[in-house]
Amino acid sequence: MKKIKEMKTKISFILIALSTIFLFEACKVGPGFKTQRTEIDSTAVYRYDSIQLAMTDSVLNISWWELFDDPVLADLIAIGLKENKDVLIASSRIEQAMAQLGFTKADMWPKIGYNLSAQRGNVIAGAPSPDFSAQNIFTGFGTLSWELDFWGKFRRANEAARAELLASEYGQRTVQIGLIASIAGTYYQLLDFKWREYISRQTLELRQKSLNIIQARYDEGIVPEIDLNQAQIQRAIAASAVPLFQRSVAQTENALGILLGRSPGPITTGTELEEQQLPPDIPVGLPSMLMERRPDILRAEALLHGQNARIGVAVAQRFPSISLTGLLGVASGDISTITSNPAAWAISGSLLGPLFEFGKNKRRVEIERKITEQILYEYQRTIIIAFQEVEDALVEISTLKEERQARKDHVAAANNAQYLSGERYDKGVTSFLELIESQRQAFEAQLSLSETTQELFNAYVKLYKALGGGWLSEEELNTTINAASQE
């Protein structure tokens, strides 16, 4: 019992001494990191912010795709966020980064182990026994080794690992926002192709009826063959458009299925494109706010932070490593008396460092500094591209709204012209060429309106994405709700 108390006392003394040394070594080499808010030559508001959008937290802090008011789209996005493989990969990377952080933190603490051995022979520990007779030796030791983080090498590595964990979380958010935008954009593209297929089928039906009438008139000798040929041409044009858009619908459904993380196949859609309501105007924010919202910018900043810390790791490798080791245990020539022998213990320290390696350690620091410089430029480029994406989306919305209204006017005029040409042709006032030209213009005008409408919806999708999206995790959503309730 006394033996055990003595061993505990010595172990406590060693641990207290090591802890004291650890508390006093507060040096951490390498440059510190400050948030690098890059100044960009940008105006306070965006150039094409002619929509006069009001800043409202209620719009910023909701799932933005719900503003499109299409439950089918919302369901598809929910499926994609749960089952898309890129999102699952991003989630796995977060778990990997968490494990890497724990792995790196372990280097900051002592390594405690054990060593048990049994040996028999006439040469023990490199020395022969006095009479060269066979002897036994049994040993059991607890071991402790600790490389003191005097220069902050492990703390810098831990700082880098934390930043990379944060970057992986922002990376997941970037993937999620990109996925949401892709699902929404593909969905509206699918609605567009379905509506154009519908227009083509309706046009084919009308032209088939017109062909039947022209065929009957031709058979009676009332109209020339050229009118029959022209009617056949117009019917064939509409007929060829139907399989074209059928193919586009199927391929878009397949692409949307992949985004959902499922096998390609038919996709059920909701409200038809022509009946979809545009979302309300949304806030665009200021450039400073943009940097606070976009996860790709925050990810780039976190990666810069992590790489900056790796400079400190490289600098610390130029200095000596200070290590402490200790042994505490028992040794005996007879296993039956091992507990009655005095305790065996040893404490040692070592200083190991580079002396002359032809500039290798200096070059290591330079390499890390240059990598940091490259990541800084990538971070700055990410910010510049973010501003461009917002500007592009705003000008798209502004101009596409005007274009869509012009397309609507075009469709209304073309449909009326088609009706009047039909009436004039039936009364023999005009030629069949005028009628088919009016039909062609009406058909093309309807297809163009559908395409422009789809582009306008997708411009809104691009703007939401460019502003950092509106997607919030459940935890963030609860935090937002709680904060709002306390105000």
Supply the angle between the helices 153-219 and 295-316 in degrees, to the nearest 10.
150
pLDDT value of residue 320: 79
The pTM score is: 0.77
In Å, how far are 10, 117, 337, 444 from 138, measured between CA atoms? 21, 6, 10, 95
pLDDT value of residue 387: 84
Tally of CA atoms within 13 A in the half-sphere of 231 that contains its CB: 23
Q: What angle do CA 35, 37, 42 make, to 5 degrees?
A: 170
SS3 29: coil
Cβ-based burial of 352 (10 A; exposed 0-12, middle 13-18, buried ≥19): exposed
pLDDT value of residue 388: 87
- Token pair 């391929």 in the structure block, residue: 251
pLDDT value of residue 429: 84
Q: How many CB atoms lie within 10 A of CB 359?
A: 9
pLDDT value of residue 52: 40
Answer for the pair 346, 167: CB distance below 8 angstroms, yes or no. Answer: no
SS3 33: coil
Answer for the pair 329, 141: CB distance below 8 angstroms, yes or no. Answer: yes
- Encoded amino acid at 394, one letter: L
Separation between Cα atoms, residue 283 and residue 295, nearest integer Å: 18
Q: How many CB atoms lie within 10 A of CB 104?
A: 19
Separation between Cα atoms, residue 116 and residue 348, nearest integer Å: 20
Task: Calculate the CA 225 to chain-centre distance.
Answer: 62
Q: What contacts 434, CB < 8 A, 6 or more positions away? A: 421, 424, 425
Task: Calculate the CA 43 to chain-centre distance.
Answer: 28
| Helices of type H across 220-359 | 225-259, 287-293, 295-316
Encoded tokens for 142: 């607890």
User: Which pLDDT tens digit goes with each residue over 112-130?
Assistant: 888 777 777 776 666 676 6
Tally of CA atoms within 13 A in the half-sphere of 74 that contains its CB: 11
Separation between Cα atoms, residue 363 and residue 71, nearest integer Å: 58
Encoded tokens for 280: 């309300």
Residue 29 gets the label, from left (phi > 0), alpha (psi -120 to 50) or beta, of: beta
Strand pairing class (127-128; 321-332): unpaired
pLDDT value of residue 194: 95
Answer for the pair 450, 199: CB distance below 8 angstroms, yes or no. Answer: yes
- Encoded amino acid at 258, one letter: I
SS3 127: strand
Separation between Cα atoms, residue 254 and residue 234, nearest integer Å: 31
Ordered per-residue pLDDT tens for the chain, 487 residues: 454 455 555 555 555 555 555 444 456 676 777 755 555 554 445 554 444 443 334 444 457 777 788 899 989 999 998 888 888 888 888 888 888 878 777 777 788 888 777 777 776 666 676 666 777 777 777 777 777 776 777 788 888 888 888 888 888 888 888 899 999 999 999 999 999 999 999 999 999 998 998 899 888 888 888 889 999 999 999 999 999 999 999 999 999 999 999 888 888 898 899 889 888 765 545 455 665 678 888 889 888 988 888 888 888 877 777 777 767 666 565 555 555 666 666 777 777 777 777 888 888 888 889 999 999 999 999 988 888 888 898 889 989 999 999 999 999 999 999 999 988 988 888 888 888 889 899 999 999 999 999 999 999 999 888 887 744 445 555 665 566 566 5
Separation between Cα atoms, residue 116 and residue 331, nearest integer Å: 10
pLDDT value of residue 183: 93
